[in-house]
Structure 1
Amino acid sequence: MTSSGITTLPVDRPAAGVGPKALLRGVLRRWPSLVAVALAAFVLADGGTDFPAILTGAALVYLGAAVLGRRSAAWPLFLGAVLLIGVGKVAVVAFGVPVPVTVLMVALGAVGAVYGPARTPAGRAMLIGPSAVAMLGFGAVAVATTMLAPVPAGVIVGLGLLGHAAWDHVHFRRNTVVARSLAEFCGVLDTLLGVAVIVLAVTGALA
């Protein structure tokens, strides 16, 4: 109540940081996740997607960035992996020529795993080591799935993608090896694809 005896009611003010502009900024900050959702939808709509190659390519991006010593190199390396997968698909569809993209990526990873530690300072070589082991591990899983029936192959590669999503999460939290935006993007993409592939395999849609 004021000195004049008139009661004044408090004026409702909009809570700070929850306006349309703040909401838009929050959404835009999550652009890697949004792009990952869109790409996952595109990949799943394409029945001829090479999921083992996607798993191997994700691991190869991390190793390549570690060898180069530049986190910003992760996005160009990712685009290179996408291009390689695309070339392999075009070769099959247009010319009927199968290209072992997964095996080729594993070979590139093996070269990086040997060349990287041998040609870099000891401090950075220690950073390359985990990425090299992860590359060879995920690559081995991916290659193994190419020799299995569709259902077990789908389950295994799906679990592999979920495993790589955990790897993405570790690097996102630590903000190391790759750009944080790439770690967020890859983590969301791997999770969505991993769950989807397992569901498709279990329901027989990959048979």
Structure 2
Amino acid sequence: MHTIAHRWPTLIALALAALTFLDGRPAPEFLAGVLAAMPLFYLLFGVFRGELRRPGALAGQLAGLVCFAAVALSAACLNGTLALLVLAAGWLGHAVWDAVHYARARVVPRQWSEWCGVFDACGALALLLAAGTVTG
């Protein structure tokens, strides 16, 4: 029970992912917008926590913002399966981004990067399922 209590960010992420993706019909436009907006939270956390003052921290966060926005914009310009696959790659990339932040314990609280990483991985899986590339 002690371990489960310490994994509350994961439990919240799984519950939110179930509510968001369980119907099996992801809304690509909405999910592209979420992908583009997610890095903004990292910038806000970084500002409020004073983490962006370290050398390279702001540049790294801005690079992430540009990359995820570019993937989101690319997906928004596509249709069908290809749009879902591009979005899945973006969401999986953001899960990796979260894992790096979790491991380094910088910019955002570890609980944030944990729940966001789990939610993003679930989102990527849901997008792959919707694209028909993964069979359940």
State the TM bucket, normalised to the shorter chain.
Answer: 0.7 to 0.9
CA contact 1:55–1:139 (8 Å) conserved in 2: yes
- What is the identity percentage for the equivalent residue pairs of Structure 1 and Structure 2? 33
How far apart, in 1, do the equivalents of 2:11 and 2:70 lie? 30
Map of 2:71 onto structure 1? 141
Aligned length: 129
- Residue 10 of structure 2 corresponds to residue 30 of structure 1: no
Counterpart code for 1:31? W
Give the superposed CA RMSD: 1.9
How far apart, in 2, do the equivalents of 1:154 and 1:63 lie? 26
Matches within 5 A, 1:41-52: 41-45=18-22, 47=25, 49=27, 50-52=30-32
- Residue 81 of structure 2 corresponds to residue 151 of structure 1: yes
Once the 2 structures are TM-superposed, how far is the Cα of residue 64 of structure 1 from its aligned partner? Answer: 2.2
Gaps of 5+ in 1: 1-23, 72-119
Gaps of 5+ in 2: none
Map of 1:56 onto structure 2? 36
CA contact 1:36–1:189 (8 Å) conserved in 2: yes
CA contact 2:26–2:126 (8 Å) conserved in 1: no
Counterpart code for 1:131? Q
Larger Rg: 1
Structure with the largest fraction of helix = 2
Map of 1:168 onto structure 2? 98
Name the structure, 1 or 2, with higher relative contact order (CA <8 Å, separation 6+). Answer: 2
Once the 2 structures are TM-superposed, how far is the Cα of residue 28 of structure 1 from its aligned partner? Answer: 1.0
